[in-house]
Structure 1
Amino acid sequence: MVAYHFYFLLLTLVIAASWVGSASAQGPTPTDDEVNRIAKQLYCPVCESTPLDVCPTEACRQWRDLIRTMLTEGKSEEEIKQYFVLQYGARVLDEPPNRLLTYLVPAVAILLGALMLLRGFQMWMKPSITEADEEPKGKPDQDPYIAKLEEELKKQK
């Protein structure tokens, strides 16, 4: 009879330990607010421009359940977002990743456009040579000083 009680007690302890261990490993069930806090930062890849927390599709409901499961497993907000980015791409994030190229390309395009406009205005405002401004094709009136200088140069030869 003592052996029977011993085995019964041992079996009860093993079952209780496994039940408590599995319950403590999962952690508390996250609330809807905790799930929606993360879901607000993600967009549905199926619906155009619809946040995951308000999207009515079945896929979004499943993704919210997946967020709940991941929170229960103890995953952080960043780990969950990273999982969705790996699965569906950066387009699911409410803010795209901060990349220098995102800001650099528009700035360079604006600068190049401004330089092209500046150069165009400079060319437009530059006075053009008209026929009235050109010197006559015939022999121009020479300055007496230049004429005297040319005579002396001819004498030296």
Structure 2
Amino acid sequence: MEDHRIATGFVGTPLICDALASVGAYDTAYRLLTQRDCPGWLYPVTMGATTIWERWDSLLPDGTVNPGEMTSFNHYALGAVADFLHRVVAGLTPTAPGYRRLRIAPRPGGDLTHATAELHTPYGPTSVTWTRTETTLTVTTTIPPAQSPK
């Protein structure tokens, strides 16, 4: 993880942030999440991406398409980090099948000042939003009542 640039492939990408969090290395996980250089999740965003790419460098810094194989601009593999963003960063985690029960426990970190996660469960819409300042963390939630699925 030189300069907090991720070096995992398809298998390790969904696991790296959880592995770091499991040993208390949240700062490292958040630095990976906010890395703007390639390889990193925000590199495609800096290049104008609105989808998840198959490779960290599907589009090269000069704006040309990587001539190598596996150059899809709409591929989920590296987007598996979204699960970590929902469960840990936003703090929206199921504790029973189908989100019948929820755990709300956001984990603000790094330079992030806010996060939102929304999900339509069989019981209704669920959301968590947090914002933080130097002295205050404000968390707002929408939690549907536990009932039979709609």
Q: TM-score, normalised by structure 1?
A: 0.19
Higher relative contact order (Cα pairs below 8 Å, separated by 6+ residues): 1
- Bigger Cα Rg: 1
- Greater fraction helix: 1
- Greater fraction strand: 2
